[in-house]
A and B are shown apart, each in its own frame.
Chain A
């Protein structure tokens, strides 16, 4: 019935949305931020522990759709251990992937590439971006609530 959606809702995405990685609160985090999609009610709180511009550890909590949860979960796996500069590059690559479906030849996306199908569902781009926006905001030392509207 839903052949067109197999690409968007791949098994990896379903697994991450059911059992998100790095889920919970991180005691001793030094960067935190909240994010929210006011139109749909998706929300996230993210806690990062950084040292010398490296993401040492992170956790997140939130409630929302499968795409949002899978994207946030995959994001936390992807940025753990990376420097702030590397995270920034990755975010730009990811943003380009889910808005245009394009990847450069030397991309660093790894597992994040499973979200490439999002680009064909413009209404869901913001779901895939919310966790990233919250993480970027936390790394920039900006704890206020971010939105993707």
Chain B
């Protein structure tokens, strides 16, 4: 542990961080949208295309063998990354969104019937709402939402037992809210749900690269994550599914690789996980995801989580001291992002002004329109941090925001 460099020492590994934007050094604070990529991940991607490029699972030649081995090694690595019991419990998807769609289709179409309830929370990303709305429309099931307390952005669990009824088939919820920075008590909720025989899905898009993740400790049936928010490439993510559950599920997409035998009128399915991976997969990005997972564990996910809390709390306190600001998300135990509105200044104006000073923020509804409606706003500005961000960058953000307030006469 003591031999590892301070977290700021890892900045040099990220080529994209070392540039000027509009004449100012880039301060990249849009990590909840996507993280920057370390050189090892970029190298893994180009090395694959330069040296090993071939299709997987179907070639006998050397390159195909190399590609297949590296591809399946990533599956083993991903299983270790989230402490899954079996390697087969990892299904590669394009990302979190596709992973949730897979569950809503492959599991939902058989398991959910008219009158059943799909339980979500009010702080879900569109990717954990819309696939369930589509499933509800197909099956006649209903959606229910665990409420959010208000600007503080905590789940209101005072009436949780009233929500966890015998009609509920699945509880799908986010681990860390991308709009509020709330860290939800997923282990506790999954345990409660399991006692009622309810299947659980955790959206780990914001947590996977930010804290240690243990699916057995969480006790969920499904967990979805995206590679690109955790130093990996875009277009690759994972669905974790409990093996016995995956084995009972029908496939959702048909094609090559997901079959064991095909006749003109009928086919037999391949075994798990291949049953859920039709067609040529995203081989290069999968292999680069392996490099990202190795890299994150070298940095240390406990350290990243501690840094998130520290920088997130620091930013929250500094923003509060500015005044004329509305802050969203928990006052304590927050993750590494802050969501806010400057009085009388629209989030998009804030983002445009910050961009001119080299600060990359996100402004908008963060793909959480229902949550924004509940909070009575159309958008917020968001600064989201990663382990390479520093408190000096937060101080720069605060200076820029004060400048914006001044410009707008606030």
Contact = CB atoms under 8 A, between A and B. Distances in A.
Contact of A40 (B363, B404, B407): B363
Contact of A43 (B378, B400, B404, B409): B378
A85 interface: no
Given A2-B403, A66-B349, A40 B364 contact: yes
A39 B348 contact: no
A5 interface: yes
Given A40-B379, A41-B372, A64-B378, A127 B408 contact: no
A25 B405 CA distance: 30
Contacts, number: 56
B365 A9 contact: no
B349 A4 contact: no
Given A9-B407, A64-B346, A41 B378 contact: yes
Contacts of B353: 2, 5
A121 B351 CA distance: 12
A1 B372 contact: no
A64 B365 CA distance: 12
B369 interface: yes
Interface in A32-62: 39-43
B149 interface: no
A1 B378 CA distance: 28
B268 interface: no
Contacts of A41: 364-365, 369, 372, 378-379
A124 interface: yes
A65 interface: yes
B352 interface: yes
A5 B348 contact: no
A124 B408 CA distance: 18
B326 to A, nearest CB: 15
Contact of A65 (B348, B400, B409): B348
A66 B356 contact: no
A139 to B, nearest CB: 26
A124 to B, nearest CB: 6
Nearest to B22: A4
B286 interface: no
Interface bin, chain A: 20 to 34
A5 B356 contact: yes
B357 interface: yes
Given A41-B372, A41-B378, A124 B364 contact: no
Interface in B1-39: 22
A143 B365 CA distance: 25
A4 B23 CA distance: 11
Contact of A2 (B347, B363, B369, B407): B407
Nearest to A6: B407
Contacts of A124: 348, 352
Interface in B342-373: 345-349, 352-353, 356-357, 363-365, 369, 372
A109 interface: no
B346 A65 contact: yes
Interface string A7-21: 011000010000000
A87 B408 CA distance: 32
Contact of B408 (A8, A14, A64, A67): A14
A24 B22 CA distance: 38
Interface in B88-123: none
A81 B81 CA distance: 66
B261 to A, nearest CB: 45
A127 B378 CA distance: 14
A8 to B, nearest CB: 8
Contacts of A64: 346, 348, 378
Interface centre among B349, B369, B409 (most CB of A within 10 A): B349
A86 interface: no
Contacts of B357: 1-2
Nearest to B345: A66
A105 B22 CA distance: 32
26 contacts: A1-B357, A1-B403, A2-B356, A5-B352, A5-B353, A8-B352, A9-B349, A14-B408, A40-B364, A40-B365, A41-B365, A41-B369, A41-B372, A42-B378, A43-B378, A64-B346, A65-B346, A65-B348, A66-B345, A66-B346, A66-B349, A66-B408, A67-B349, A121-B352, A123-B352, A127-B348
Interface of B: 22, 345-349, 352-353, 356-357, 363-365, 369, 372, 378-379, 400, 403-404, 407-409
Given A40-B347, A40-B365, A41-B379, 20 more contacts: A1-B400, A1-B403, A2-B353, A2-B407, A4-B22, A5-B356, A8-B352, A9-B349, A9-B407, A14-B409, A39-B364, A40-B348, A41-B364, A41-B365, A41-B378, A64-B348, A64-B378, A65-B349, A66-B346, A123-B352
Nearest 3 interchain pairs by C-beta: A41-B378, A65-B346, A65-B348
